[in-house]
């Protein structure tokens, strides 16, 4: 019989999938610097997110970033500065530590709204041997369409029931719920859950909080089934 006590051994998921540019990397800082101020960066970022989450089928990521900058009256130098400083995207505190703790136990994957070139460059900044990196360009669709998440699961050879997702945006919940991925929201900057989005199973402004949630993953799943 499975031991469901609090002192039971860890029961890790087979795979953990991550949003990249918001859950693991502090892209906010680089966007704000490229825009010239936090207010301008947030407006640009909001317009870019609106376009990516709304377009569905893949359109050039770099094109959407340029169009979003133009829409909020930023000069062409802003997207140029963003790409020039792309390799300076800093990991959030605790990101590398969380990945190192999971690496012996779980497959690790990225599912990111990005082009192949920029997405893989950003993934390399975490200094982890990823099992799978799925970009929206490779999937042919932007999140929260279910297809990028499902493509990562297929490439991992792991069913959704045996995997977890660490989200960076509340919009991820639309896609993860559609494919059956239990989700932890690393809500670093305190964003509101989008209207109509399913609630995450857990939420925190600190990545370190995800580790105990993941350690008890299968026990929590089993307990829910027995309830």
On whether both 64 and 109 belong to a single domain, the answer is: no
In the structure, what pLDDT confidence band is assigned to residue 218 with cuts at 50, 70 and 90?
A: confident
pLDDT of residue 221: 54
Query: Which residue has tokens 């089928």?
Result: 57
5 inside domain = no
pLDDT of 101 above 50: yes
Indicate the number of domains in the chain: 2
On whether both 95 and 33 belong to a single domain, the answer is: no
Span 10-16, average pLDDT? 92
On whether both 146 and 131 belong to a single domain, the answer is: yes
Span 160-183, average pLDDT? 96
79 inside domain = yes
On whether both 104 and 176 belong to a single domain, the answer is: yes
10 inside domain = no
On whether both 155 and 206 belong to a single domain, the answer is: yes
For the ranges 49-58, 98-107, 205-214, the lowest mean pLDDT is seen at: 49-58
**pTM of the full predicted structure?**
0.91
Hey, which residues does 57 pair with through a beta bridge? 141
pLDDT of residue 11: 86
1 inside domain = no
On whether both 116 and 194 belong to a single domain, the answer is: yes
On whether both 129 and 40 belong to a single domain, the answer is: no
Angstrom CA distances, 29 to 83, 102, 140, 146, 208, stand at 13, 26, 28, 28, 20
In which order are the strands placed within the sheet that holds 202-204?
132-135, 107-112, 15-18, 163-167, 182-186, 202-204
Percentage of residues of the chain with pLDDT beyond 90 = 85
For the ranges 47-51, 78-82, 159-163, the lowest mean pLDDT is seen at: 47-51
21 inside domain = yes
Span 147-167, average pLDDT? 98
**97 vs 218, residue with greater confidence:** 97
On whether both 178 and 130 belong to a single domain, the answer is: yes
pLDDT tens-digit map of 105-130: 999 999 999 999 999 999 999 999 99
pLDDT tens-digit map of 14-55: 999 999 999 999 999 999 999 999 999 999 998 998 888 888
2 inside domain = no
On whether both 22 and 35 belong to a single domain, the answer is: no
pLDDT of 215 above 80: yes
48 lies in which domain range? Answer: 28-87
On whether both 128 and 211 belong to a single domain, the answer is: yes
Hey, which residues does 184 pair with through a beta bridge? 166, 202
Span 136-161, average pLDDT? 97
pLDDT of 5 above 60: no
On whether both 136 and 62 belong to a single domain, the answer is: no
**175 vs 50, residue with greater confidence:** 175
4 inside domain = no
In the structure, what pLDDT confidence band is assigned to residue 220 with cuts at 50, 70 and 90?
A: low
pLDDT of 98 above 90: yes
Residue-averaged pLDDT of the chain: 91
């Amino acid at each position: 019989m499975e031991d469901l006590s609090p002192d039971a051994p860890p029961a890790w998921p087979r795979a953990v999938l991550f949003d990249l540019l918001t859950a693991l990397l502090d892209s906010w800082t680089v966007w704000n610097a490229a825009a010239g101020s936090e207010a301008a960066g947030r407006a640009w970022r909001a317009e870019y997110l609106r376009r990516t989450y709304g377009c569905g089928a893949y359109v050039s990521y770099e094109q959407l970033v340029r169009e979003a900058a133009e829409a909020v009256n930023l000069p062409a130098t802003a997207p140029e500065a963003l790409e020039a400083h792309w390799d300076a995207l800093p990991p959030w505190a605790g990101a590398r530590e969380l990945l190192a703790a999971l690496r012996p136990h779980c497959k690790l994957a990225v599912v990111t709204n990005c082009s192949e070139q920029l997405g893989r460059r950003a993934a390399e900044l975490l200094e982890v041997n990823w099992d799978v990196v799925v970009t929206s360009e490779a999937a042919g669709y932007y999140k929260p369409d279910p297809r990028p998440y499902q493509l990562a699961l297929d490439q991992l050879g792991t069913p959704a029931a045996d995997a977890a997702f660490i989200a960076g945006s509340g919009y991820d919940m639309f896609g993860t719920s559609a494919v059956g991925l239990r989700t932890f929201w690393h809500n670093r900057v305190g964003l509101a859950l989008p209207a109509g989005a399913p609630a995450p199973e857990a939420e925190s402004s600190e990545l370190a909080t995800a580790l105990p949630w993941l350690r008890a993953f299968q026990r929590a799943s089993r307990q829910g089934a027995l309830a």
